[in-house]
A and B are shown apart, each in its own frame.
Chain A
Amino acid sequence: MKPSLADIQHAMLKGIMHPGHNIDPLIKNPARDTKDVMLGVYRYAYVSRLREFLANDHEKLSCYMGEAAFATMSKAYVAKYPSDQPNARWYSRHLPEFLAATPPFKKSPELAELALLERALNDAFDAPEAAHKTFDDLAAVPPEDIAQAQFAIHPSARCITVVTNVTGLWSSLRCGEQPPSPYRLDEPQEVLIWRQGSSSRFRLLGKEESMTLAKAQEGLPFGVICEMIAMMDDPDTAAIRAATYLRGWIEAELISDIRLA
């Protein structure tokens, strides 16, 4: 009996993904070469295209690992994660967790963190649009209402926690310099990633600012946030510290709305 269209597609899929799987009976004798050579075009394209997606999304990681090591790693990733998305844009999304969980890469935690940082920068690049508020908008809030104000944070903003000198590695790779040796930080570091204008950026956050930003993202009013800051350090300078953070966020185009409850 003739195989159905569904049978043929099922067999072709297996034959392309698993080169050992024989699908020769489905294929006409080629005019120019063997079935193996002609099917090989699809088999080769499958792997090389997925590797190309990884390399496009992770330029710095590829540069840091070196071409050969990156190719070996990509091969393992491709074998573990077939693409399940119509859009290549999201193919590499499992890479940070893959590198953190898979030997020998997991022995070098900066690899997973470099992938995570690049991933976050890529996500910020095409995150949803939002307006950004200016100092004039802030000045328009009546002083008696400022404690009630809630600040919406730009949808591209995201914090990650790293335990290696990955931000230093990233920066030297960007400048085309020899990256420093990887090392573990004394304590975990928060990194803020966001989009300003059309570029993705990151910067390190202190503990207090990172907590403050998280609370603002949750929608807590500014007055409540100031009270929390007062408990974290010197209460006398709490209002100044809060105002400094807010100023930085406005400059960085991180505030997309100011709402008065």
Chain B
Amino acid sequence: MEKPAPLGFGLGLRPKHYMEILEGNPPVDWFEVISENYMIPGGQPLRMLDRISERYPVVMHGVSLSIASTAPLDMDYLAGLKALASRCKPKWISDHLCWTGVHGVNLHDLLPVPYTEEALRHVSDRISRVQDYLGRRIAIENVSSYIEYEGSEMEEWEFVGELARRADCWLLLDVNNVFVSGFNHDFSTHAFIDAVPAERVVQFHLAGHSEANTHFIDTHDEPVKEEVWDRLCARPSPLRTRVHHDRARR
């Protein structure tokens, strides 16, 4: 199992930066693109992506794979994802450990799964099928969550680690999401981060969150909090990190 080579520090690609990037060749190591924003027929966004992916490594980050959903895999979506990948040649493709809908409805949100053996089997089987179809390993990101299910049989970090082993996939560790969920569910963020199988982590996400009265909300639009940096810096591992502080369209 050979991990993709470290890429350094990346940034989320946003339309308002297209010209700045093409005219200035900023010293950014790589860009992360929201897959769905480029799963369109044509026009300026795709032309810009073509030009930027000629100059910089890119990774694709999706929000609609809905890997944990009990609805059938959306083959049209997967075909679109595969076509985009052959166009921009990403170093890897990621999406979230979540479901976004069921029964033909898309909630456009990243909903958590119960941490059960049933869900483990279901999600690892779907990741394997997606990986077979795309012909490559994908990276799965932990989400921030606001509820936990009554039926959960294990901790989130146990679920994530076991899932990665069973599905033989990569992980994208969102450190901010660990903080948000850890605060909301009162678990130790250290325990989470230390338990995640480091050999499978290909990328980190850092972003800020806002603090509501009693809970944290992942808004991805605040500056990165001090404690998130501290936690990340304490971890001995080559960083492939993307700092994002604006909102993805999802």
Judge if A240 is at the interface, Cβ distance under 8 Å: no
Chain A: interface residue count, which band? 35 or more
List which A113-130 residues lie within 8 A (CB) of chain B. Answer: 125-129
In the bound assembly, the distance between CA atoms of A241 and B211 in angstroms comes to: 66
Which residues of B, 16-42, contact A by the 8 Å Cβ criterion?
Answer: 36-37, 39-42
Q: Do the beta carbons of B150 and A26 come within 8 Å of each other?
A: yes
CB-CB nearest in chain A for B76? A86
Q: How far is the CA of A110 from the CA of B120 in the complex (A)?
A: 52
* A215 shortest CB reach to chain B, Å: 25
Q: Are A126 and B149 touching (Cβ within 8 A)?
A: no
A5 touching B64 by the CB < 8 A rule?
no
Would you call B147 and A4 a contact (CB within 8 A)?
Answer: no
Partner-binding segment picked from A77-85, A98-106, A167-175, A242-250: A77-85
Whether the pair B106, A85 counts as a contact (CB closer than 8 A) is yes
Q: Given the complex of chains A and B, what is the CA–CA distance between A102 and B183 in angstroms?
A: 44
Q: Say whether B250 faces chain A, with CB atoms less than 8 Å apart.
A: yes
Among A9, A25, A32, A37, point to the contact of B102 (Cβ < 8 A).
A9
Give B133 Cβ to nearest chain A Cβ, in Å: 15
Residue of A nearest to B109 (CB): A45
Would A3 and B102 count as touching, CB distance under 8 A? no
Which among A12-20, A135-143, A205-213 touches the partner chain?
A12-20
Interface residues on B, range: 35 or more
A37 & B214 in contact (Cβ 8 Å cutoff): yes
Is there contact, CB below 8 Å, between A41 and B108?
Answer: no
Decide if A231 is an interface residue (CB 8 Å cutoff).
Answer: no
Q: In the complex, what's the smallest C-beta–C-beta distance from A229 to chain B, in angstroms?
A: 32
Contacts of A27 in B (CB 8 A): 147-150
A49 touches B148 (CB 8 A): no
- Which chain B residues lie closer than 8 Å to A86 at the CB level? 36, 64, 66, 74, 77, 100, 106
Chain B CB within 8 A of A6 CB:
yes
* A50–B108 alpha-carbon span in the complex (Å): 8
Query: Which residues of B from 34 to 73 have beta carbons under 8 Å from A?
Result: 36-37, 39-47, 64, 66, 68-70
Cα A91 to Cα B106 with chains together (Å): 10
Sampled A-B contacts (28; CB under 8 Å): A3-B151, A5-B119, A6-B70, A9-B70, A13-B102, A13-B103, A16-B107, A26-B149, A27-B148, A27-B149, A31-B185, A37-B214, A42-B111, A45-B109, A46-B108, A46-B109, A82-B106, A83-B106, A83-B108, A86-B106, A87-B39, A87-B64, A88-B36, A89-B40, A91-B108, A126-B42, A126-B45, A127-B43
Sample of 7 more A-B contacts, CB < 8 Å, known A9-B70, A9-B111: A9-B69, A26-B151, A46-B107, A46-B108, A83-B106, A87-B39, A198-B43
